[in-house]
């Protein structure tokens, strides 16, 4: 086993603090890589606080992980020591169910193994995430990275990137489509970049007029202030797709009114309470309200390769791990453009 430094929450009421634990030995099909950078996702805070479900403590968050390989198992074929490597939100699945066989491991019918706050396939060994110095992952769930891109800015692609890339690809959003991105945060800014890269006409929907300049800088063609009744009235019935990245309560009925006939409102954000959606908001125009999680491993690799070819990375602010609590406080206030990334050299 490898003794590993980390930052962990000991319970839902305690702040993150230094903690040491043992990573498992590298098995014949495992890859071990030292973590260089790890993105900070809003879901890290949700899970530490037990906002979604009871957590497994001590909890080491982090699922936007990039680093360099230091050891490989005897049967590993696609990685060697010295390679760049990455892991996202999951580290295992059953591998044999209908969904896994279709490269949809994120929807594994037996439940995928999450990178942290989850259990290994034995059902009893907790997983620990990327706020740590090193990680051991089975080869099938380790991803290749290009050395063309800034490594720190690549880290958030492993969650914020694939979470927005996957639905845009699934619904074949591209040239000739009008795409609205609801919310301009860690997810939203990636949705704008991908939407523009795919050739869509992109509008950012935001409650904050102050974000218009940033939206245009990221490549958005239009900006709608959703607290302005005139803006909303002018936007009604104009979008083919809305990619909804917002995790705060909001009025789905109002946003559904902005869709064209056969339009699709795709949820990737996770509000804390169930939404109230009127049937007539869907019936009037044969509209759909849908959801999407992350992508499978094959699609995530496709996304990383696409980003390398098109020079797409996240806009980030690098932090020292000792400043994680301050980063959380700022993240809750929306005071980050657009993703914090931890430099693990500081651990």
Q: pLDDT digit string (tens) for 152-188?
A: 999 999 999 999 999 999 999 999 999 999 999 999 9
Confidence of residue 273 (pLDDT cuts 50, 70, 90): confident
Q: Is residue 128 pLDDT above 90, yes or no?
A: yes
Q: pLDDT digit string (tens) for 4-20?
A: 999 999 999 999 999 99
Nearest 5°: phi and psi at 303? Answer: -65, -45
Q: Is residue 103 pLDDT above 90, yes or no?
A: yes
CB 261 within 8 A of CB 282: no
Structural domains present in the chain: 2-159+295-346 (3.90.180.10), 161-291 (3.40.50.720)
**239-244 and 259-267 beta bridge pairing:** parallel
Q: Which of 23, 51, 35 is nearest to 120 (CA)?
A: 23
CB 158 within 8 A of CB 39: yes
How many percent of the chain have pLDDT more than 90? 96
Let me know if 213 is exposed, middle or buried by CB neighbors in 10 A (0-12, 13-18, 19+): exposed
List own/partner pairs for 90-98 with CB under 8 A and 24 or more apart.
90/114, 90/115, 90/141, 90/294, 91/115, 91/127, 91/137, 91/138, 91/141, 92/120, 92/121, 92/138, 92/141, 94/121, 95/140
Q: Please report the pLDDT score of residue 1 as a whole number.
A: 87
Q: Is residue 283 pLDDT above 90, yes or no?
A: yes
Beta bridge partners of 259: 239
Question: What is the Cα–Cα distance from 279 to 71, expressed in whole angstroms?
Answer: 55
Averaged pLDDT for residues 50-73: 97
Averaged pLDDT for residues 86-91: 98
Q: Is residue 23 pLDDT above 90, yes or no?
A: yes
Q: pLDDT digit string (tens) for 194-251?
A: 999 999 999 999 999 999 999 999 999 999 999 999 999 999 999 999 999 999 999 9
Q: Taking the model in full, what pTM does it have? A: 0.96
Question: What is the Cα–Cα distance from 131 to 105, expressed in whole angstroms?
Answer: 24
Confidence of residue 21 (pLDDT cuts 50, 70, 90): very high
Question: What is the Cα–Cα distance from 58 to 55, expressed in whole angstroms?
Answer: 9
How many percent of the chain have pLDDT more than 70? 100
Q: Please report the pLDDT score of residue 62 as a whole number.
A: 98
Q: Is residue 272 pLDDT above 90, yes or no?
A: no
């Amino acid at each position: 086993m490898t003794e590993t430094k980390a930052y962990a929450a000991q319970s839902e009421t305690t702040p993150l603090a230094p903690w040491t634990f043992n990573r498992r030995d590298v098995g014949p099909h495992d890859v071990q890589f030292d973590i260089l950078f790890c993105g900070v996702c809003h879901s890290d805070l949700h899970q530490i606080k037990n906002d979604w479900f009871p957590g497994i403590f001590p909890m080491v968050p982090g699922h936007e992980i990039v680093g360099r390989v230091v050891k490989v198992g005897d049967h590993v074929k696609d990685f060697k020591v010295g390679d760049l490597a990455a892991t996202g939100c999951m580290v295992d699945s059953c591998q044999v169910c209908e969904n896994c066989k279709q490269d949809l491991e994120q929807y594994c019918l037996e439940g995928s193994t999450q990178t942290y706050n989850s259990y290994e396939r034995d059902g009893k060994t907790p997983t620990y995430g990327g706020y740590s110095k090193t990680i051991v992952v089975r080869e099938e769930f380790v991803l290749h990275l290009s050395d063309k891109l800034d490594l720190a800015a690549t880290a958030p692609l492993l969650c914020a990137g694939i979470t927005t890339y996957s639905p845009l690809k699934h619904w074949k959003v591209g040239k000739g489509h009008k795409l609205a991105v609801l919310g301009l945060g860690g997810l939203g800014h990636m949705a704008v970049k991908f939407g523009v890269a795919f050739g869509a006409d992109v509008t950012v929907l935001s409650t904050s007029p102050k974000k218009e300049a940033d939206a245009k800088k990221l490549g958005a063609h239009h900006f709608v202030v959703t607290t302005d009744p005139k803006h909303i009235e002018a936007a009604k019935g104009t979008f083919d797709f809305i990619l909804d990245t917002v995790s705060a309560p909001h009025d789905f009925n109002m946003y559904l009114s902005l869709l064209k006939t056969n339009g699709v409102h795709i949820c990737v954000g996770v509000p804390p309470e169930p939404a109230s959606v009127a049937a007539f908001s869907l019936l009037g125009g044969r509209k759909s309200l849908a959801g999407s999680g992350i992508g499978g491993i094959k699609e995530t690799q496709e996304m990383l390769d696409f980003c390398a070819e098109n020079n797409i990375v996240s806009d980030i602010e690098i932090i020292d791990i000792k400043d994680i609590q301050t980063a959380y406080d700022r993240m809750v206030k929306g005071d980050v453009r657009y993703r914090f990334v931890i430099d693990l050299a500081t651990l």
